[in-house]
Structure 1
Amino acid sequence: MRLHREGNTIMLTTGLVLLTVNLLADIYLFSDNTTAIALLAVASVILFVLVVQFFRIPNRLLTTGENQVIAPADGTIVVIEETEEGEYFKARRRQISIFMSPLNVHVNRNPVSGIVRYFKYYPGKYLVAWHPKSSTENERTTVVIESASGVQVLMRQIAGAVARRIIWYVKEGQPVEQGDEMGFIKFGSRVDIFLPLDSDVLVKIGDRTKGGVTVLADLK
């Protein structure tokens, strides 16, 4: 396991703030209360560990398949439905949505290999990730990757009520490899995938996914 570079500043800042709080409390508040000092230290360690684990990247054997769509994120399947995708395709598509809790690994990965045909970032609101309007009103990015066979897959990163920053590493015209890092969403969010209607969906509502490992669907 390793830690993601996006967490370097947050982890360092959190560590310094907690260390300062503990030193000041030891000197000015609890100088004669060893129990309070110990409890504060334990709480600080737990908080720091929680922040650090958010940026973890587990060692995994990634799944690859030319006609397979791989989960772009860790989380839970919360939506599988036919819907109108109105931003890029402007047509009916099969939507699969993954909710990422603050305890999930938050690296986002390319669901397929191919060329990035479309990318756009939208500033927006911070509704809870499962809100019906979060996919159209929250801060988000939209990425469309065209596979070697010509099939286009749309992936949307969506900020949630806690998430306050979306990171992406792709741009239009860029070739990408399935399973490589596409981006990162800090502190809880959601990812939507839009597939052709004839895709063979292999997951169901409530399934837990592993980014880069779980196969969401087979493309025709």
Structure 2
Amino acid sequence: MHETFIKPMHPEGIRFVAIFAVITLILFWAWEPLGWIGVGLTVWCYYFFRDPKRSVPQRDGLIVSPADGIISLIEPAAPPPELGLGDVPLTRVSVFMSVFNCHVNRAPIAGTLETMVYRPGKFLNASLDKASEDNERNSLLLRLADGRALPVVQIAGLVARRIVPFAKEGQQLATGERFGLIRFGSRLDVYLPDGVEPLVALGQTMVAGETVMADLAASEPRRMARSE
């Protein structure tokens, strides 16, 4: 029961919670009703930076979601040019994170972080297609054991103002390992290798490090779903 409501917080959030708490004390001093609003915002800030444990699937070939959120786009698109993979479209699966989602990002599959390139940009609504090209982003290239490339892109959103990487180029990442965080609303794009179909559908809720997004060994067609 304790773990259901009290989640561990990532250290990146400590100073933000402290700032919210100080502001809350000032609001209580100024006018008590404002102080209670501050309490609510402080609790929200704590939960924004929550970093819960996840049960990561261990079978080789599984690609898991790198983020909590909703599948907002599934479409063909060329990977970011800074990764040097050419302009041949791959299936891009986008996970949109609202300000209420956990924002710790996890590696979708085991591999070597071969390239990581940060590019400044705008702060459009991350659910929009053009956010992939115009918004601030951090592009990562995971090199898998079989030699294939898996691009993963952190995209800042309308409220987000900071992409925080935890990993470094040359680092070996395990499936589900934490590699970064985006503060306050954003999106993660995964570009599936050629011939790999997504096993998720638009509108599906994703859990970082747990929900299977695709399977390198699967041959089934793209998964469809219905809303109920």
Match of residue 13 from structure 2: 7
Q: Is 1:95 matched with 2:108?
A: no
Over the matched positions of the two proteins, sequence identity in percent amounts to 37
Q: SS in structure 2 opposite 1:43?
A: helix
TM-score (norm 1): 0.90
Q: Alpha carbon RMSD of aligned pairs, Å?
A: 1.3
- 5+ residue gaps, structure 1, are 27-36
Q: Is 1:17 matched with 2:23?
A: yes
- 5+ residue gaps, structure 2, are 1-6, 218-228
Q: Deviations over 1:179-217 (max 9, x none)?
A: 111100000000000012311311000000000000000
2: CA distance between counterparts of 1:46 and 1:62? 32
Whichever residue aligns with residue 204 of structure 1, its letter is A
1: CA distance between counterparts of 2:35 and 2:170? 50
Match of residue 169 from structure 1: 166
Q: SS in structure 1 opposite 2:42?
A: helix
TM-score (norm 2): 0.87
Whichever residue aligns with residue 184 of structure 1, its letter is L
Please state how far the C-alpha of 1:86 moved relative to its aligned partner.
Answer: 4.8
Cα distance change on mapping 1:190 and 1:68 into 2, 3 Å? same
Match of residue 224 from structure 2: none
2: CA distance between counterparts of 1:105 and 1:97? 16
Q: Is 1:56 matched with 2:50?
A: yes
Q: Deviations over 1:4-25 (max 9, x none)?
A: 11101110011011112212x1
Corresponding pairs, count:
208
Whichever residue aligns with residue 13 of structure 1, its letter is I
Whichever residue aligns with residue 15 of structure 2, its letter is T
Q: SS in structure 2 opposite 1:194?
A: strand
Runs (4+) of structure 1 exceeding 6 A deviation are: none
Match of residue 109 from structure 2: 112
Q: Is 1:213 matched with 2:210?
A: yes
Q: SS in structure 2 opposite 1:85?
A: coil
Match of residue 128 from structure 2: 131
* Preserved contact between residue 82 and residue 197 of structure 1 (Cα < 8 Å): no
As a proportion of its length, which structure holds more strand? 1
Q: Is 1:186 matched with 2:192?
A: no
Whichever residue aligns with residue 7 of structure 1, its letter is G
Please state how far the C-alpha of 1:127 moved relative to its aligned partner.
Answer: 0.8
Q: SS in structure 1 opposite 2:190?
A: strand
Please state how far the C-alpha of 1:137 moved relative to its aligned partner.
Answer: 1.4
Task: Find 2:144's aligned residue among 147, 157, 170.
Answer: 147
